[in-house]
Chain A
Amino acid sequence: MQLTGAEIVIRCLQEEKVEHVFGYPGGSVLFLYDELFKQNQIKHILVRHEQSAAHAADAYSRSSNKTGVCLVTSGPGVTNAVTGIATAYMDSIPMVVITGQVSTAYIGQDAFQEADTVGITRPCVKHNFLVKDVKDLAVTIKKAFYLARSGRPGPVLVDIPKDVTAQKCEFEYPKTIAMRSYNPVVKGHSGQIKKALQLLMEAKRPIIYAGGGVILSDSAAKLTKLTKLLGFPITQTLMGLGGYPGTDRQFLGMLGMHGTYEANMAMQHADVLLAVGARFDDRVIGDPNHFAQVARKVIHIDIDPSSISKRVRVDVPIVGNVSEVLDEMLKQLESMTAKPDAKALAEWWQEIETWRGRNCLKYKQTKNVIAPQFVVQKLYEVTGGDAIITTDVGQHQMFGAQFYKFDKPRHWISSGGLGTMGFGLPAAMGSRFANPKATVACITGEGSIQMNIQELSTCKQFRLPIKIINLNNGYLGMVRQWQEMFHGNRYSETYIDALPDFVKLAEAYGHVGMRIDKPADVEPALREAFTKHKNDLVFLDFVIDTKAMVFPMVAAGKGLSEMILAEDL
């Protein structure tokens, strides 16, 4: 049967079992929206800004491993979505973005709402397509989903001119797809894995360093099993949190710029380093030359060969999907007679415990001023550590990573690579749609939340009972922290004057608002929000210490072990 391009797009999405599409209509996607209207299988979530559509689709994917889908119109629809697409790209999140384009005859004519979508998005997508012929539509969408999910995942964009959505052709959805130019390696080389295990058995001061690849490949259970079998310390990147139980003794906490003292020291001084789906980025190891001053053997498991030996020289590269590589590692480990060096390991743990004894996350909670760390700690207690936590970017994000302990994967939803302010609220929406029974909280600040605050309207429309934890210090806290430390206390443009009354604002959108300014009220307010107002969106505006700092800290360009600790440590 002949179908129009618009019908084909919807049929393709149905074939891919897509349940939710986050989007915003416009002129060049009218035919697509008309077809959405005529069916019930796919639910469209109308956001209030295209950036949020992309963030919501991204978080939908992060919190469930279902591919998020976002649909926007040409021109400004696309340019608004670019921040969201780039956010997903930097964190390797599978996502399919469908964009309208002006009709083929108008392309290049500077038509109304025309933008070179493929050109603008090229550097921030895994791949993109412009479909000029309706006959290519189904196979292109099939390719888009396949590319987004396979190999190193990422956003894939399909740009569809308006006339293509109106043209007709026979519809057949391809069952499989093969591309001669795209064959990602999945299985790790077993010889390399054997070499890696031998190194691990000989190690005196081993450490496991795991990242977002563990989450993306759904390998948390396998990583936990391997870590337990080996008895090694493990640290995680911001993207990896939840890939290993955060409450377990072997877990040293997050490493990096705001990592724990014990994690950074152990990372720096390890003699054998097993990197699992992590990429040694600048926020993790600081200055690579300083890191290279200590001799160590590095084993690196990664699906993307270009991540290997990019910033840190690797001795045993293992290219493959983390899940498959860990399977093979566990299998080989079972049949191995060699065991980890128990005596050396005991000494190593002793050293680590000394570092841990510094209690680097210690903070003061006074009687009168709320410490931001205290709010996150109470949030953790009140939610039983079981909530999906989304964040924006800044100090609150680091406090979230340091003080909320994630025992399960896909519960920590944060923009790590791009560091996008405005991510938190739309991400909470996407997470809730993917997990309709989950408790979802967004840790944010008064700067970040205002970058996509209009989504309070979407939350009302879809009755999303998100809890917004606003750590309000009146400053763009992280920038202020750098100004304090490196720019002579000159707080250039980081004080936010004329803040709205967030309680009234929340109420204006039809939600519940609370303002909390006393430490004693923190826990009761949280309890009220999560019990009495379980089914409401609650905006909790916590008036916190304006001068709180995130410690430990590795200053930009410094070595990982050159940490700045809180004053009394």
Chain B
Amino acid sequence: MRHIISILIENESGALSRVSGLFSARAFNIESLTVAPTEDASLSRMTIVSVGSDEVIEQITKQLNKLIDVVKVVDLSEAAHIERELMLVKVRATGKEREEMKRIADIFRGHIIDVNESSYVIELTGNTTKLDAFLDAIDRALILETVRTGVCGIGRGDRILRA
């Protein structure tokens, strides 16, 4: 099962390596990992997407909690939550494909944020399946480069993660 684990961690040097080292040392899987400081600069918020059985995910959250720098851990996928990922795609955009590319970007509510005579950079946000769907919708041969942030997520309504 796919889980989205949110972590509040002290914004210290080496904090990221403690988390990533834990995953590799214990053979846990990481699909994606994002990290950035929160509104409180002394804390970072990390979102990890991992796949594993309930037992494995339980171990992951327990082991994360054991890290001294970790303030809180929550499995977002246990309840209602929102997840988003940002993707930038550079595509070939020439001739009749130039118009078609803009049309598909519009359908996916993407923005073209860089233009030159032969290519576009399209900015797209959404959950992982939406971004995957966009890539499937356009001609693979036209994709020059993609970069994705990995998932970040937040609980709905009253679910609040803070120190």
Interface residues of A (CB under 8 A from B): 118-119, 122-123, 126-127, 130, 147, 152, 179-182, 304-306, 309-310
Is B55's CB under 8 angstroms from A309's CB? yes
Size class of the B contact interface (CB-based, 8 Å) = 20 to 34
Per-position contact with A for B14-38: 1 when CB-CB < 8 Å, else 0?
A: 1001100100010000000000000
Query: By the criterion CB–CB under 8 Å, are B21 and A123 in contact?
Result: yes
Contact A119 B10 (CB under 8 A): no
CB of B100 within 8 Å of the partner chain: no
> Bound complex: CA of A182 vs CA of B65, how far in Å?
9
B74 to chain A, nearest CB (A): 14
How far does the alpha carbon of A310 sit from the alpha carbon of B57 in the complex, in Å?
A: 11
Contact A181 B71 (CB under 8 A): yes
Given A122-B17, A123-B25, A181-B10, decide whether A306 and B68 contact each other with a Cβ distance below 8 A: no
Residues of A contacting B133 in the complex (Cβ-Cβ under 8 angstroms) = none
Chain A residue nearest to B72 in the complex (CB) = A181
Q: Which one, B55, B65, B163, contacts A180 given CB within 8 A?
A: B163
Q: How far is it, in angstroms, between the C-alpha of A491 and the C-alpha of B66 when the chains are bound?
A: 42
Tell which of A127, A152, A180, A310 touches B59, judged by Cβ atoms closer than 8 Å.
A310
Interchain CA distance A181-B18 in the complex, whole Å: 14
Contacts of A152 in B (CB 8 A): 66
B9 CB to nearest chain A CB (Å): 8
Interface status of B62 (Cβ within 8 A of chain A): yes
Known contacts: A306-B59, A309-B55, A309-B58. The answer to whether A122 contacts B68 by CB under 8 A is no
Cα separation A484 to B9 with both chains bound (whole Å): 51
Q: For B13, what are the chain A residues with a Cβ–Cβ distance below 8 Å? A: 130
Distance of A147 Cα from B67 Cα, bound (Å): 11
Is A181 within 8 A of B59, CB to CB?
no
Q: List 8 A-B contacts (CB under 8 A).
A: A122-B18, A123-B21, A130-B13, A180-B163, A181-B70, A182-B68, A306-B63, A309-B55
Which chain B residues border A306 with CB–CB below 8 Å?
Answer: 59, 62-63, 65-66
Chain B residues near A (Cβ < 8 Å): 9-10, 13-14, 17-18, 21, 25, 55, 58-59, 62-63, 65-66, 68-71, 163
- For B22, the closest partner residue in chain A by CB is A123
B14 partner residues in chain A, CB cutoff 8 A: 118-119, 122, 130
Shortest CB-to-CB span from B59 to chain A, Å, is 6
B66, A122: Cβ atoms closer than 8 Å: no
In whole angstroms, what is the CA distance A447 to B62 when docked? 39
A214 to chain B, nearest CB (A): 21
Task: List residues of chain B with CB within 8 A of the CB of A181.
Answer: 9-10, 68-71
> A305 and B65 in contact (CB under 8 A), knowing A119-B17, A180-B71?
yes
Residues of chain B within 8 A (CB-CB) of A126 are: 68
**Which residues of B are found within 8 Å of A119, using beta-carbon distances?**
14, 17
Q: Which residues of chain B are near A127, meaning CB under 8 Å? A: 68-69
Nearest residue, chain A, Cβ from B71 = A181
B10, B17, B66, B71 interface centre (most CB from chain A within 10 Å): B66
Report the Cα distance A445→B68, complex, angstroms.
39
Given contacts A119-B17, A309-B58, contact A147 B68 (CB under 8 A): yes
Chain A nearest Cβ from B94, distance in angstroms: 46
Q: Nearest-CB distance from A200 to chain B (Å)?
A: 26
CA distance A306 to B65 in the complex (A): 9
A337 to B70 CA separation, bound complex (whole angstroms): 44
Given contact pairs A122-B14, A130-B14, A309-B58, enumerate 20 new A-B contacts (beta carbons under 8 Å).
A118-B14, A119-B14, A119-B17, A123-B25, A126-B68, A127-B68, A127-B69, A179-B68, A180-B163, A181-B9, A181-B70, A181-B71, A304-B66, A305-B62, A305-B66, A306-B59, A306-B63, A306-B65, A306-B66, A309-B55
List chain A residues, Cβ under 8 A from B55. 309
A147 proximity list for chain B (CB < 8 A): 68
B66 to chain A, nearest CB (A): 6
- Specify which of A119, A147, A152, A180 lies most central, judged by the most chain B CB atoms within 10 Å of its CB: A180
List chain B residues, Cβ under 8 A from A310: 59
Q: Which 10 A-B pairs have the closest CB atoms?
A: A306-B62, A127-B68, A181-B71, A305-B62, A123-B25, A306-B63, A182-B68, A306-B66, A181-B10, A122-B21
Task: Give the nearest-CB partner of A182 in chain B.
Answer: B68
Residues of A contacting B21 in the complex (Cβ-Cβ under 8 angstroms): 122-123
Chain A residue, CB-CB nearest to B12? A129
> Within the assembled complex, what's the spacing in Å between the Cα atoms of A179 and B69?
9
List of A residues within 8 angstroms of B59 by Cβ: 306, 310
CB distance from A153 to the nearest CB of B (A): 13
Min CB gap A308→B, angstroms: 8
- Report B-chain residues with C-beta under 8 Å of the C-beta of A305: 62, 65-66
For the complex formed, measure the closest distance between the CB of A88 and the CB atoms of chain B, giving whole angstroms.
Answer: 16
In the bound complex, CA of A130 to CA of B15 (Å): 12
Chain B: minimal CB distance from A158 (Å): 13
A147 to B14, CA, bound (A): 18
Chain B residues, CB < 8 A from A309 = 55, 58
Could you say which residues of chain B place their CB within 8 Å of the CB of A182? 68
Contacts of A123 in B (CB 8 A): 21, 25
Kindly provide the distance from the CB of A550 to the nearest chain B CB, expressed in whole angstroms.
31
Measured CB to CB, the closest approach of chain A to B97, in angstroms, equals 47
Residues in A with CB closer than 8 Å to B62 are 305-306
A367 CB to nearest B CB, Å: 52
For A122, the closest partner residue in chain B by CB is B21
- Min CB gap A281→B, angstroms: 15
In the complex, what distance in Å separates the CA atom of A272 from the CA atom of B58? Answer: 24
- Distance of A126 Cα from B63 Cα, bound (Å): 12
Give min CB distance, B13 to chain A, whole Å: 8
Tell me, rounded to whole Å, the shortest Cβ–Cβ distance linking B106 to chain A.
45
Nearest opposing residue in chain B for A181, CB measure:
B71
- Write the nearest CB–CB distance from A415 to chain B, whole angstroms: 20
* Bound form: Cα–Cα A309–B58 in Å: 9
